[in-house]
Amino acid sequence: MKIREAHFFTEHTPLKKPFKTAVRTATKINSITVKITLENGTTGYGTAVATEAVTGDSLQGINSILDNILFPSIIGNDIENIGVNEKIIQTSCVGNTSAKAALSMALYDAYAKQLNVPLYQIFGGKVNTLVNDMTISINEPSEMVQDAKKAVAQGFTTLKIKVGINGQKDIERIQSIYDELGNDIILRIDANQGWNAKEAVKIIGEFEKRNYPIEFIEQPVPQHDIQGLKFVRDRVNIPIMADESVYSAKDAIEIVKLQAADLINIKLMKAGSLSEAYKIASIAETAGIECMLGAMMESTLSVLAAAHLAAAHPNITKIDLDPPLWLNDNQANLYFQNSKIQLPEVAGIGLNPVSL
């Protein structure tokens, strides 16, 4: 069945409260929703989000790439040739991973609908429920404690704590949360590239002395400092996760070759497609490196697509897909309920935007 047409629209969704990291502060998400239509009327949807401080992709750039390069490259193609279409998208231009990811989602959504199966089954998955974490934005320690207590009251047992602004203050942030919650809650520490390698070793060493219940430290150093990432990993005991350092399967191979990380965080907006994300998980699996499926501050649709992939790949063992819980979006409540993600038992991704 051939792809007849493709369109997109822009949407601005406010957050319930500001989302703060060492890299940026967000009060809303600026997203672009893609719709493709097959000759028989079947539709597929995907979304991209503009995160200039992370991927470098802007709304204007995403719009232009979709209209001028990506859409023309797949119109008239058979939806059944999903692998060929994915390769066309990936090789059509350099970078622009957010736009590519949105079109990839739309292709897979339509393809799964054609086969009348949920998306996770396309990738071999059987499980349709996942356990989520909750992110605690970087703020003053007292505010972070209150946010952490609220999340625990909602049933979360794993918290992702944002740090990376002022190393000594970061220690105070974690100590304050630990003093309140103790050892009953698992902590994931995300520095968002905020430390240098030597500073990271010093801070993580202090975490280890205080015996905090930390599962891993995520991206302690700038994304291109792979040697720095390895420097940290070789000198601490807490597992080190690569996030911004891994966009593609090639990046994952580099991390594996250098033994620079213990874990990898995969995001569709970085990978540029569902198939590329799956490759990253498979490459990591061969090296015994477990993966987490994460997300930028994205729309419910794109995070739900990521959840389908997470439910399918056996090497994706950790879930960090809480952005829908930050959104003023009624559709999020259908599938994201506190720490539980319930994938829909319908064909495709399972969510059709109302504006297209």
The set of catalytic residues is 162, 267
| Residue 302, CA atoms < 13 Å, CB-side half-sphere | 33
Closest CA to 281 of 259, 302, 265, 261: 265
Give the position of tokens 């949807």: 45
DSSP per-residue letters across 129-197: EEE--EEE-S--HHHHHHHHHHHHHTT--EEEEE--S-HHHHHHHHHHHHHHHGGGSEEEEE-TT-S-H
Q: What are phi and psi of 173, to 5 degrees?
A: -60, -50
Residues 302/268, Cβ–Cβ less than 8 Å:
yes
What's the rounded Cα separation, in Å, for the pair 83 and 334? 30
Instruction: Write down the residue that tokens 């946010």 correspond to.
Output: 147
d(CA 222, CA 164): 11
d(CA 83, CA 133): 32
Distance CA 154, CA 122 (A): 32
**For helices 226-235 and 249-258, what crossing angle results, to 10°?**
40
Using CB atoms within 10 Å of the CB of residue 234, give its burial: 0 to 12 exposed, 13 to 18 middle, 19+ buried: exposed
SS3 55: coil
Q: What is the dihedral of CA 53, 138, 339, 241, to 10 degrees?
A: 60
Biggest CA–CA distance in the chain, Å, is 62
| Strand bridging mode 158-162 / 134-136 | parallel
Distance CA 194, CA 270 (A): 19
